[in-house]
Amino acid sequence: MSGRAGRPGQRTGAGELLALVRSGRATTRGALQQATGLSRATVGQRLDRLFRAGWLREGAGEPVGSPLGGRPSITLEFDDAHAVVLAADLDTRHARAAVLSLTGETLAEHSGTLAVEDGPDAVLGELGCWFGRLLERTGRPAEAVCGIGLAVPGPVDSETGRVVQPPIMPGWDGYDIRGRLGRAVAERTGGTAGVPVLVDNDANLMAYGEQRAGHPDCSAFVLVKVSTGIGAGVVVEGRIYRGVDGGAGDIGHIRVPEGAGVPCRCGSSGCLAAVASGGAVARRLAQAGVPAASGSDVRDLLAAGHPEAAALAREAGRRVGDVLATVVTLLNPGVLMIAGDLAGTPFLTGVRELLYQRALPRSTAHLEVVASRLGERAALAGAGALVVEHLYAPERAEERLLALGV
């Protein structure tokens, strides 16, 4: 074999060039030649495929660095206008859906009541209706949709997109979510049912969205969502860590001493979620005569400065912080983010009290404990980003270019 045949640049396709441009590592033809070792002609040929697909566009010229002057280098940009992504975040009683640009901009959004206990067929059918109306609002055709992302409140097998023994999603275990949602969207938009559908746990997608938006340089990022239940999402080196079958991060069902004998929605008793979730705090408030039926009710009471709600949220935070001391010691994250209905000052105060008391100082020396930045839109952002990263990853991009005939 000749030395030339084995050069890394010879295996660099259009998908790899697109990845370099999207990441900002190489945004001119010259920079792409330097980064890949490809000739000017080869770079031009592969960029031409991306231009014909509508995935790249030319931007403004870069300033000329030489004192002798010369023509400015034309920059290359990912064209986020050639397609859109549909994203939805499904909670136990509420859902949010949006049409997003390929760079995450919200083009249209809707939220409303949607109960997972109504079953997957009805819920996913209704989401299809929502997406149809949202797409009409944007004026974009069904053909512009390149993918669909869905966040669900349960463990997901990422290979199949099916939830696995979800504690709070009756009737969803093993259901073909991808197929049903794809058909529902096609029926309501006039598109095809072959659009890729990616499904993941809501805490995972919240973590992915928050890490990319606010902490892109954090190599170990943990987000804990405390709402109806409690779950965690972990992002390591820019990738969601899911475990062997999607069960990573399900900390709400760790047994805690304070929960002894307290029944949990998963069918067991003594779980952290049974004593420290938004639902648990709501039950205790209701027992004390304060109207509260869910984590969202607790959130409203906390926003209004209700003293008993604040006291119970702080107590819940201490219980969660005790468990998180082990999580932090094991993973040594740079950022621990608290999100969900209880993500306010009282709860965070409780988390910090027990976390720093129980965890090793070495594990918390460089740890930031922060509240959610994206709030209710975190899972939507993560779902959209997951779809885009999947579709425009180098290998998948090559497959799609071939399918487009370019």
Task: Convert the pLDDT of each residue in 313-352 to its tens digit.
Answer: 999 999 999 999 999 999 999 999 999 999 999 999 999 9
Would you say 22 and 42 are in contact if contact means Cβ atoms under 8 Å apart? Answer: no
* AA identity, residue 287: Q
pLDDT of residue 5: 36
* pLDDT tens sequence across 48-67: 999 999 999 998 766 555 45
Residue ranges for the chain with pLDDT beneath 50? 1-10, 66, 68-69
How far apart (Å, rounded) are the C-alpha atoms in residues 404 and 86? 21
pLDDT for res 12: 86
- Say what the pLDDT of residue 158 is: 87
**Which tokens sit at 344?**
């306010």
Whole-number Å distance between alpha carbons of 278 and 317:
11
Whole-prediction pTM: 0.92
Q: What percent of the chain has pLDDT over 70?
A: 95
If you average pLDDT over every residue of the chain, what do you get? 93
Three-state secondary structure string covering the chain:
CCCCCCCHHHHCCHHHHHHHHHHCCCCEHHHHHHHHCCCHHHHHHHHHHHHHHCCEEEEEECCCCCCCCCCCCEEEEECCCCCEEEEEEECCCEEEEEEEECCCCEEEEEEEECCHHHCHHHHHHHHHHHHHHHHHHHCCCHHHEEEEEEEECCCEECCCCEECCCCCCCCCCCCCHHHHHHHHHHHHHCCCCCCCEEEEEHHHHHHHHHHHHHCCCCCEEEEEEECCCEEEEEEECCEEECCCCCCCCCHHHCECHHHCCCECCCCCECEHHHHHCHHHHHHHHHHCCCCCCCHHHHHHHHHCCCHHHHHHHHHHHHHHHHHHHHHHHHHCCCEEEEECCCCCHHHHHHHHHHHHHHCCHHHHCCCEEEECCCHHHHHHHHHHHHHHHHHCCHHHHHHHHHHHCC
What one-letter code names the amino acid at 207? A
The rounded distance, in Å, linking the Cα atoms of 399 and 223 is 34
Pairing of strands 335-339, 368-371: parallel
Contact 273, 295 (CB under 8 A): no
